[in-house]
Amino acid sequence: MTGYEALLMAGKGRCRNLKFNLKDLPSTGQYYKDYQIPEEETMVVYAYRSAYSLMELEGNGTIITDQAIYFHPIHQNWGEKNRIPLSSICQYLIYQESPQEGVRLLSKESKTQIFGQTVAPSDTTGAELVELLTYLQQHIMMADQKERKRYEYTLAWALSHVKKGMRENGRLTKQHQKLLRIIGKDAAFTSSVVLLLAEDSYRDMKEETYQSFLSSVRGMVHSKLIKSLEQPDGLFYESYVEDLSGVLALPMTRSLVEPYGNLLRKMELTLHEAVILCLLCIRMDDRELYEPMYRAIRDHLSARRLWQICGFRAKYQKEVMGSAFEAMLTGKLPAKGLLTCKDDLGFSCLHYALMLRNKELLIELLQQRDWGEGHGPIPGRKLVDCAYSYFFVAVQIYKDPEILQLVLAYTKDEAKPLLRAVRRIDNFIDIANKRSYKAREKLRFFAGEKKTAFHEGRLEDVRRFEDEIYDLREEIASCEDRREELEEMKLEIRQELGNLLVTATAEARMRAVILKEADQPLTNYILRLYRDEDLLFSTFTKTAISWRVANFKELYFILPEGYETSLPHIDFVNQKMSGMEDAEDEERTFDSERFINPREAERLEKERKKREEEKAKRKAQEEQQRRERAAYQAAGEDFDGESRRRWFSEAAKEDLSILKKEYRLLVKKYHPDATGNGSTAVLLQQIMEERARILENM
């Protein structure tokens, strides 16, 4: 018996579902053939899930010989990838993400699944296989220090792999957490694992969760590490912000929904929490919360942090518009949700449709919504606003009067009423044409009927048909006159639109001259963007990995890498901000300073108003009951707080005379003048209301 075989057989007692003593199985020879096992090797263990396996297309069994692990015998490309020597087992981490998941072997060179998944909760075959291979691994390392070193190297690589995964995903995945549990069992890596788990707990943005984790690891690591973990902002804040403002991958955004929700539920935020919430608002496209939150903390941010947040937001807005731009490149309309979005420069989909010079797409897009005239992203900057007017953009790009008139009619406030008038006239013309067509059809019918009646000698029918034909000719003439009148009105409106087009075009060209003379870096770039198609495409194609962020007033926008500008700017190289290493990095605030969460404040204010309204309603009901009680007592009646008394009989509800009689008696009895007590006016009001309801139902 070889060394590996003896170790495997020693673990037999722990494994109920694994098959041992395979020499006695009648199908052993077939296994050698199917798995292509060399004859000199001895089969020791067989792991099999039968019908529970979810990997039937790849084989549902794993065999361990005295030399290697064999798996997936139905692979078409059979070879070394389906065989793992037991001598190399210490270079792998052996794990399952859950009891029903497959068994995986992970190393720096490969990630291999050697056993399939299951749908049976009670099936422990995979767990037993993990335990057996781990047992084998441990004994090999105890016997050979080199194998121990190899395993430690694998643990170190796996730890760095998990760190990288958390940076890319924002949080630890279930697989990462499982790997950390395995890595943490080694005393040499316990502190590193605790530090990484603490960072993941910090990223949850829930103080209770972090403190609970901290309590759970006390005694596991050195007290100095615990003391440093008690100040998590100093350890984890900077790396969290770097990751949040980095890659815009959708899986990362999904993994951050929970911390986003946790911060939303906080009424007061520290500056660090507010910065993280701003970045999460960008990722979640929560513009309504981002704006007030950013304004609240803006003056407390360092220059580097300001560029980091605003640069990330500009990149996010560019990425969102990029999907719309890509659709329009193929002549398709963007998704409806993108029609209202604006990018980092403040451009809408209509701006880009104009710049793409696709007439059919432009006409279709103009009809999708009311675009307005087009305004710049910086309030109060009229000179900049000029460059964002849709008609101004059209004049810079197109010479075709038809396109210019379309853009004018759909976007200029003074032209929109004229466009609506033209549409109404077109509807009236269509109605007149339909009436005329129907009258002509009837005319042909009655002319035929008249001819038939004349030949048959039915003179009365002939005269009747002649009257019908006369009326129809009158109606046709009326429709023709109406259509001519409408066409004249339409021509007049089109002439007015033409005059407006001439005036607006001249004004747009004059504004272009003014913008050029102003020589403002932002408007110069925008004007160049309108005319230079290569620059337009480069803003989307040459900003994937590296780009430049420029700033004008409160506007931060993306430029292609290396684009020269006199505006303040920084570069992002390989998706990382550069050139700000020496800038001040500390936020200007006091530890005790707190920032109000606008969303939570709004929710609490709504709840407060609702409570006050309910309280006022209860008080009004109590006051009403008090008045009713006093009224019943004054009248000598019993008061039932649960329901009001019915004043009229069932007969009064059916007979008006009985109702009048009972009403007179009740008024005589409960009128304040009769009782001498003004409080009975409440009862009289009830009587009158019930009488009114009875009268309505009669």
pLDDT in tens, 232-245: 999 999 999 999 98
**What pLDDT does 57 receive?**
34
Q: How far apart are CA 589 and CA 595, in angstroms?
A: 11
Beta bridge partners of 63: 46, 70
Q: Positive or negative CA dihedral for 415, 417, 418, 419?
A: positive
Look at residue 674 in the predicted model and tell me its pLDDT. Answer: 63
Cα dihedral: 618, 622, 623, 626 (round 10) = 170
Least confident range of 239-243, 375-379, 528-532 = 375-379
Beta bridge partners of 106: 93, 111
DSSP SS3 for 317: helix
Task: Assess contact for 180 and 211: CB atoms under 8 A.
Answer: no
| Beta-bridge partners for 64 | 45, 69
Helix residue ranges per DSSP H, 519-543: 521-531, 533-541
Greatest alpha-carbon pair distance for the chain in Å reads 126
List alpha helices for 204-335, DSSP H.
207-217, 223-229, 232, 238-244, 250-255, 257-264, 271-283, 287-297, 303-329
Three-state secondary structure call for residue 114: strand
Q: What is the separation, in whole angstroms, between the first and last Cα of the chain? A: 104
**pLDDT level of residue 645 (50, 70, 90 thresholds):** low
How many CA atoms are closer than 13 Å to the CA of 213, on its beta-carbon side? 21
pLDDT band at 678 (very low <50, low <70, confident <90, very high): low
What value does the mean pLDDT take over residues 646-665?
79
Look at residue 262 in the predicted model and tell me its pLDDT.
Answer: 93
Q: Are 639 and 686 in contact (CB under 8 A)?
A: no
Task: Give the confidence band of 73 by pLDDT, cuts at 50, 70, 90.
Answer: low
Q: Which of 314, 383, 373 is nearest to 343 (CA)?
A: 314
Encoded tokens for 410 = 């759909």
Q: How far is residue 539 from each of residues 142, 315, 594, measured CA to CA in Å?
A: 59, 11, 39
Q: Does residue 74 have a pLDDT over 60?
A: no
Phi, psi of 481, rounded to the nearest 5 degrees: -60, -45
Q: Is 221 left (phi over 0), alpha (psi -120 to 50) or beta?
A: beta
The CA distance from 384 to 366, in Å, is 23
Query: Token pair of 614, please?
Result: 């309910």
pLDDT tens per residue across span 465-478? 788 888 888 888 88
CA-closest candidate to residue 106, choices 124, 79, 133: 133
Higher pLDDT, 46 or 52: 46
pLDDT value at 500 more than 70: yes
User: Tokens 């810079």 appear where?
Assistant: 396
Q: Is pLDDT above 70 for 631? A: no
Using CA atoms, how far apart are residues 31 and 612, in angstroms rounded to an integer?
78
pLDDT(558) > 90: yes
- What are the extents of the domains in the chain? 3-143, 245-345+354-369+540-595, 598-697
**Amino acid at residue number 613:** E
Structure tokens at 103: 């068994």
Task: Give the single-character DSSP code of 48.
Answer: E
Residue 313 reports pLDDT greater than 80: yes
Rounded mean pLDDT, 613-642:
69
The pLDDT value recorded for residue 644 is 56
Q: Which of 302-306, 581-585, 683-687 has the lowest mean pLDDT?
A: 581-585
Beta bridge partners of 62: 47, 71
Three-state DSSP at 41 gives coil
* Cα gap 155→179, rounded to integer Å: 9
Note whether 530 and 355 are within 8 A (CB): yes
679 pLDDT higher than 60: yes
Q: Which residues sit opposite 84 in a β-bridge? A: 69
What the block records as the tokens of 398 is: 């197109």
Give the integer Cα–Cα distance in Å for 372 and 412.
7
Query: What are the Cα distances from residue 587, in Å, to 270, 301, 303, 645?
Result: 11, 5, 9, 70
Dist CA 60 CA 51 (whole Å): 9
Q: Which two tokens stand for residue 483?
A: 């259509």
Q: Cα(623)–Cα(617) distance, rounded to whole angstroms? A: 10
Tell whether the model's pLDDT for residue 498 goes beyond 80: no
Percentage of residues of the chain with pLDDT beyond 90 = 34
Other beta carbons less than 10 A from residue 380's beta carbon? 8
| 218: exposed, middle or buried (Cβ count in 10 Å: 0-12, 13-18, 19+) | exposed
Residues 394, 200: Cα–Cα separation, whole Å: 51
630-654 mean pLDDT = 66
**Averaged pLDDT, 445-464:** 80
Three-class secondary structure assignment of 318-384 = HHHHHHHHHHHHCCCCCCHHHCCCCCCCCCCHHHHHHHHCCHHHHHHHHCCCCCCCCCCCCCCCHHH
| Average pLDDT over every residue of 670-686 | 69
The mean pLDDT of 59-72, rounded to a whole number, is: 82
Could you tell me which residues are beta bridge partners of residue 48? 61
280: pLDDT strictly greater than 90? yes
Confidence of residue 394 (pLDDT cuts 50, 70, 90): very high
Q: How far is CA 77 from the centre of its chain?
A: 42
197 membership: H or E segment, kind and range: helix 190-202
pLDDT tens digits, one per residue of 103-133: 889 998 888 888 877 766 777 888 889 999 9
> Is it the case that residue 263 has pLDDT exceeding 90?
yes
- Topology, domain 3-143: PH-domain like (2.30.29)
What tokens does 636 get? 């000598």
pLDDT at 584: 53
The structure tokens listed for 531 are 């005319």
pLDDT at position 56 over 50: no
